[in-house]
C-alpha cells in the first residue's frame, strides 16, 4: 500500500477530509502557524511528557558520532537538532529543516535560548529536499511525515540525500498493538485532545486535525513497506508505548 | 524466537557506546562490515543477530543474510568466554559454535580490548579529580570489605573447627573418607568370598593344593 495522493482524483486526505492535493500543504501550514507558539507545551500536555522519552530513544538509536552530518526534517522546535548538535561536535553539522516558517522561527528562538546558534536552518519541503545526493549520514523526521502530502516522494527524497550506509529514522504516531489500548487511545484522541487544544491553545480544530491525521497515517507494516519501496534496506520497526508511537529505521545500502 | 526489536535496540545502543570508546575497534568493525554473528540461547528461545557496519554494530532480531557464525549458549557461558579471552584464553567453553569461529574470536577480542575504566566514565559527570578520588575511594572500600569478609569467614570457620568441633578440617575429612573407602572395599571382598562359599563352588587351586595333588 502506498500513501501517495490519488493520481486520478487529484485529492489527498487532510485529517478525515479529502482535499485537493494543492490545498493540503496550505491547510497543514495553517495548522502549524496556529500551534507553533504553544507546540512544545501542548506536546508535554498531550503525551504527559512521554514525547521526551520517545525522542531520547530516537537520539540514542541514531547513534550520531562526532563529525557526522545530520538533517532534521520537519524539525519544528528543534528538540532533536539540539541533541544532535552536541553529538556531532564542531567537526560535524546539523541542519534543521521544516516546511513551516512559523515552526522554524520558534525553533530558531528556542535553540538560541539554549546557546545553539551556529546551526543552519532551512525552510524546505521534505518531498524535494534541496540537498545534493549523498549529503547526510543521518536523517530524522519526528512527528512530521504524516503531514507530508506525498509520503513516498518524501521517503525517496530523503533516501537520495543520504550517503550510502546512512540511516533514516522516522518517529511517528502509529497503530496501538492491543485492542484495549486502541479503544482508550481513540477516546483520548477524539475527546480529550481537542478539549485540551481548546482550553490551552484556544484552537480545537487544529488539535482535532492532529488526531485525525494520526488515524490516516499508515500503520507500522505499511510504512515499513513504503520505506523498502523507496530504497531503504534493513528496515526495522520499534514500537513504543504499545505502538502508539513507532520508530522506523532504514538504511540506504547502496 | 527472535528478540523483540526494542530489546535489540537497547543492546545495539549499549554495545555501540561501549565499542566506540576504542577507535581501533570501530576500524575493525568497518573492516568486517556486512558480516553477521547470530547469538541464541541454548533452547533457541531467543536469538538476535549482530551485523558489523562502519560505525559499529547493528543488532537485529533476524539475520539479513545467512550469518557467518552461529553461537548458542547461556548468557553466563558468554560472559565466561569473555573473561577467559581477557586472560588470554582461546576457546569457547559452554558455547556451541557453528561456522566461522575466527569471526567470533575477533569480536570477542574487540569487546575485551575496549576494557572498562570507571574513572573515564565518571570524569565527564564529576570532573577528572573528583572521579579519580571517588573511584580510588570506592576501590579502597571494596578491597577493605572483601578483605574483611574473607578474614571473617576464615575466623568463623576456625572457631567452628577448633572450638565447637562443628566443622572438620579438610585433612581429617580426607583421611576419614580414605578409611571409609578401604572399609567398603574390604567388605565387598568379604561378601564375594562368602557368596562363593555359599554357592559351593570349588575354591580356586592354590600353589600348595596343586603340589599336594601331584
> Do residues B50 and B131 share a domain?
no
Q: What percent of chain A has pLDDT over 90?
A: 53
**Can you give the pLDDT at residue B90?**
66
Contact A238 B9 (CB under 8 A): yes
> Do residues B69 and B29 share a domain?
yes
What dihedral angle (degrees, nearest 10) is formed by the CA atoms of A123, A127, A132, A135? 80
Residues of the domain holding A141: 12-177+208-252
Mean pLDDT, residues A29-49:
74
Other C-beta atoms closer than 10 Å to the C-beta of A144 total 24
Q: How far apart are CA A173 and CA A239, in angstroms?
A: 10
Q: How far apart are CA A207 and CA A213, in angstroms?
A: 10
User: What confidence tier does A28 reach under pLDDT thresholds 50, 70, 90?
Assistant: confident
Q: Is A163 on the interface with B (CB under 8 A)?
A: no
> Do residues B100 and B129 share a domain?
no
> Do residues B41 and B126 share a domain?
no
> Do residues B131 and B107 share a domain?
no
Q: How far apart are the first and last CA of chain B?
A: 81
> Do residues B43 and B67 share a domain?
yes
Contact B6 A240 (CB under 8 A): yes
* Residue to test with chain A: of B3, B7, B9, B64, most A Cβ within 10 A: B9
Q: Nearest C-alpha of chain B: how many angstroms from A237? A: 7
Tell me, what CATH number does A58's domain have?
Answer: 3.40.50.150
> Do residues B90 and B40 share a domain?
yes
pLDDT per residue as tens digits for the range A134-163: 999 999 999 889 889 899 999 999 999 999
Q: Is B143 on the interface with A (CB under 8 A)?
A: no
Contact B12 A234 (CB under 8 A): no
> Do residues B94 and B9 share a domain?
yes
In chain A, the number of structural domains is 1
- List Cα–Cα distances, A114 to A66, A93, A140, A216, B55, in angstroms: 20, 17, 21, 35, 29
- Chain A residues with CB under 8 Å of B21 CB are none
Domain boundary pick from B114, B141, B175? B114
Contact A61 B16 (CB under 8 A): no
In chain B, the number of structural domains is 2
> Do residues B25 and B110 share a domain?
yes
Question: Which among A61, A233, A239 has the least Cβ separation from residue B13?
Answer: A61
Does residue B203 belong to any structural domain of this protein?
no
Count CA atoms within 13 Å of residue B26 on its CB side.
13
Higher pLDDT, B56 or A19: B56
Q: Is A61 on the interface with B (CB under 8 A)?
A: yes
Tell me, what CATH number does B105's domain have?
Answer: 3.30.1050.10
**Can you give the pLDDT at residue A96?**
95
Does residue A6 belong to any structural domain of this protein?
no
Range of weakest confidence among A88-102, A173-187, A209-223, B87-101: B87-101
Does residue A191 belong to any structural domain of this protein?
no
Which ranges of chain B have pLDDT less than 50?
Answer: none
Q: What are phi and psi of B12, to 5 degrees?
A: -65, -45
**Can you give the pLDDT at residue A250?**
96
**Can you give the pLDDT at residue B1?**
74
> Do residues B30 and B106 share a domain?
yes
- List Cα–Cα distances, B74 to A104, B42, B104, B109, in angstroms: 51, 6, 16, 19
> Do residues B110 and B12 share a domain?
yes
**Can you give the pLDDT at residue A188?**
86
Higher pLDDT, B62 or A13: B62
Residues of the domain holding B14: 5-114
Higher pLDDT, A42 or B50: B50
Q: Nearest C-alpha of chain B: how many angstroms from A102? A: 34
Mean pLDDT, residues A108-120:
89
**Can you give the pLDDT at residue A223?**
96
Relative to beta strand B47-53, strand B36-40 is antiparallel
pLDDT at A213 over 90: no
Question: Which among B16, B53, B64 has the least Cβ separation from residue A165?
Answer: B53
Please tell me whether residue B54 adopts helix, strand or coil conformation.
Answer: coil
Q: How far apart are CA B18 and CA B16, in angstroms?
A: 5
* ipTM for this model: 0.81
CA-based nearest residue to A161, from A139, A140, A178: A139
* Residue to test with chain B: of A56, A59, A61, most B Cβ within 10 A: A61
Residues 6+ apart with CB under 8 A from B97: B69, B70, B71, B104
Contact A237 B54 (CB under 8 A): no
User: What confidence tier does A1 reach under pLDDT thresholds 50, 70, 90?
Assistant: very low
Q: Is A192 on the interface with B (CB under 8 A)?
A: no
Does residue B177 belong to any structural domain of this protein?
yes
Q: Nearest C-alpha of chain B: how many angstroms from A93? A: 17
Range of weakest confidence among A117-121, A204-208, B1-5, B143-147: A204-208
Residue corresponding to grid cell 492535493: A21
Does residue A182 belong to any structural domain of this protein?
no
pLDDT at A88 over 80: yes
**Can you give the pLDDT at residue A92?**
95
CB A140 within 8 A of CB A60: no
- Chain B residues with CB under 8 Å of A65 CB are 20, 55
> Do residues B65 and B160 share a domain?
no
**Can you give the pLDDT at residue B45?**
77
Question: What are the grid coordinates assigned to B87, written together?
Answer: 586472560
Amino acid at each position: 500500500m502506498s500513501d501517495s495522493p490519488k493520481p486520478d482524483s487529484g485529492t489527498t486526505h487532510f485529517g478525515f477530509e479529502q482535499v485537493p492535493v494543492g490545498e493540503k500543504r496550505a491547510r497543514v501550514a495553517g495548522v502549524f502557524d496556529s500551534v507553533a507558539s504553544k507546540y512544545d507545551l501542548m506536546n508535554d500536555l498531550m503525551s504527559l511528557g512521554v514525547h521526551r522519552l520517545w525522542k531520547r530513544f530516537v537520539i540514542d538509536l541514531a547513534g550520531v558520532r562526532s563529525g557526522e552530518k545530520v538533517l532534521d526534517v520537519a524539525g519544528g522546535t528543534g528538540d532533536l537538532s539540539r541533541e544532535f548538535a552536541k553529538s556531532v561536535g564542531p567537526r560535524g553539522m546539523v541542519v534543521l529543516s521544516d516546511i513551516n516558517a512559523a515552526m522554524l522561527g520558534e525553533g530558531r528562538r528556542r535553540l538560541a535560548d539554549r546557546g545553539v546558534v551556529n546551526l543552519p536552518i532551512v525552510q524546505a519541503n521534505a518531498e524535494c529536499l534541496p540537498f545534493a545526493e549523498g549529503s547526510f549520514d543521518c536523517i530524522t523526521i519526528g512527528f512530521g511525515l504524516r503531514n507530508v502530502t506525498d509520503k513516498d516522494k518524501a521517503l525517496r527524497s530523503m533516501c537520495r540525500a543520504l550517503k550510502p550506509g546512512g540511516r533514516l529514522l522516522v518517529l511517528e504516531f502509529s497503530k496501538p498493538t492491543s485492542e484495549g489500548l486502541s479503544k482508550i487511545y481513540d477516546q483520548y484522541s477524539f475527546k480529550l485532545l481537542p478539549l485540551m487544544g481548546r482550553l490551552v491553545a484556544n484552537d480545537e480544530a487544529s488539535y482535532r486535525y492532529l488526531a485525525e491525521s494520526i488515524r490516516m497515517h499508515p500503520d507500522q507494516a505499511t510504512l515499513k513497506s513504503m520505506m523498502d519501496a523507496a530504497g531503504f534496506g534493513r528496515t526495522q520497526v520499534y514500537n513504543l508505548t504499545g505502538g502508539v508511537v513507532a520508530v522506523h529505521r532504514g538504511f540506504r545500502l547502496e | 524466537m527472535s528478540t523483540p526489536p526494542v530489546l535489540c535496540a537497547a543492546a545495539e545502543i549499549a554495545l555501540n557506546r561501549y565499542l566506540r570508546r576504542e577507535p581501533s575497534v570501530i576500524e575493525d568493525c568497518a573492516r568486517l562490515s556486512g558480516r553477521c554473528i547470530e547469538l541464541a540461547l541454548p533452547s533457541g528461545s531467543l536469538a538476535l543477530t549482530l551485523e558489523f557496519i562502519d560505525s559499529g554494530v547493528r543488532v537485529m532480531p533476524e539475520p539479513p543474510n545467512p550469518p557467518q557464525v552461529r553461537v548458542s549458549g547461556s548468557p553466563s557461558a558468554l560472559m565466561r568466554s569473555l573473561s577467559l579471552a581477557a586472560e588470554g584464553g582461546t576457546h569457547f567453553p559452554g558455547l556451541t559454535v557453528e561456522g566461522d569461529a575466527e569471526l567470533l574470536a575477533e569480536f570477542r577480542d574487540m569487546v575485551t580490548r575496549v576494557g572498562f575504566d570507571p574513572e573515564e566514565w565518571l570524569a565527564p559527570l564529576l570532573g577528572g579529580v573528583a572521579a579519580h578520588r571517588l573511584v580510588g575511594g570506592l576501590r579502597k572500600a571494596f578491597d577493605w570489605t572483601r578483605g574483611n569478609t574473607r578474614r571473617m569467614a576464615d575466623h568463623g570457620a576456625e572457631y567452628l573447627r577448633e572450638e565447637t568441633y562443628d566443622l572438620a578440617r579438610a585433612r581429617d575429612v580426607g583421611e576419614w573418607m580414605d578409611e571409609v573407602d578401604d572399609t567398603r572395599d574390604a567388605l565387598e571382598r568379604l561378601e564375594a568370598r562368602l557368596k562363593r562359599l555359599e554357592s559351593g563352588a570349588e575354591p580356586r587351586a592354590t600353589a600348595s593344593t596343586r603340589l599336594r595333588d601331584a
